[in-house]
Amino acid sequence: MFPLNLDGLGHAGVNALYVVTGFFFGFMLEQAGFGNSRKLASQFYLSDMRVLKVMFTAIITAMLLLFGLEVLGLVRPGALYINPTHLWPGIVGGLIFGVGFVIGGYCPGTSLVSMATLKLDGAFFVLGLSAGMVVFGETLGWFQAFFDASGAMGEVTLPQALGLPAGVVVLLVVLMAVGMFFVAERLEARFGPREKEPC
């Protein structure tokens, strides 16, 4: 039955497991080329759609595996963390984050990987992240109510929001992802690099 019971491992053991998980996470990010801001930014110029490919492949892989485990009855109900929906802070924050992403060329996870491989722009991005987060903490008092309550709907899943059975939503997401990959390949063929770009 999942999730596993980690009680026997002790605090240090669990923390070690987190390090191991992060290791594989960071390893795959770097393997995908996400330690490279030019590769990441190419997504938004349609020349290299790997951000979309990696992200959505990862999401549908995990979604199918987890949903499969649930169908098999191997997941304790209610035990998987579902991010609570704070709709407007999420959307506004997402837009702001997107702006930062295309200017800075990274997101938090990829900037750490970049910094790990000694890229200076990655390191500056991480420093910038910290600064931006501190600024957020300092200014939060001005928009606390928005942050706390705006669109605060608790745990809402897409099936609940759309009024569709979970299985249908899973299928629709897979179809949407495959459709996006198809379009992405077309866009890359059209806008991709004319010559081999330097790493």
Partner 1 sequence: MLTPKRLAATSAILLAAALALLHRPDPGARLAARRAALEPRAAADDIRVSPEETLELLYNPAARLRLLDLREENEFNLFHLPGARRVSLAALQLGPPAGLAREDTVVVVSNGEGRAREAWLLLAAAGFERIYVLRGGIHGWLAAFGRPDRIDPSLPACPLDDCRRYRFESALGDRHPESDPGPEALSGRAFERKVKVQGAQKRKSGSCG
Partner 2 sequence: MSRKAADYMNPYLAGALLGVVLTASFVVFGHGLGASGGVASLAGAAESALLPGHAEKNAYLVNLAVSPENPLDNWAVFEILGVVLGGLASGWLSGRVRVETFHGPRISARARWGFAFLGGAIAGFGVRLARGCTSSQALSGGAVLSAGSWAFMFAVFGGAYLLAYFVRRLWT
* Site pattern 140..179 for partner 2 (x: CB under 8 A): x------x---x-x-xxxxxxx----x--xx--x------
Tell me how far, at minimum, the Cβ of 181 lies from partner 1, in Å: 7
Q: What is the 8-class DSSP label of residue 142?
A: G
The reply to whether 79 sits near partner 1 by the rule CB under 8 A is: yes
Site string for partner 1, 81-110 (x = CB under 8 A): ---x--------------------------
Q: Which residues contact 113 (CB under 8 A, 6 or more apart)?
A: 26, 29, 30, 34, 35, 122
Alpha-carbon span 54 to 185, nearest angstrom:
13
Contact 111, 129 (CB under 8 A): yes
Per CB under 8 A, 116 contacts partner 2 = yes
Interface of this chain with partner 2, residues 55 to 84, rule: CB under 8 A: 55-63, 65-66, 69, 75, 79-84
Smallest gap, in angstroms, from Cβ of residue 87 to partner 1? 13
Q: What is the spatial distance between Cα 134 and Cα 151, in angstroms, rounded to a whole number?
A: 24
- The answer to whether residue 167 forms part of the interface with partner 1 (CB under 8 A) is yes
> Rounded to the nearest 5°, which phi and psi values hold at 36?
-120, 110
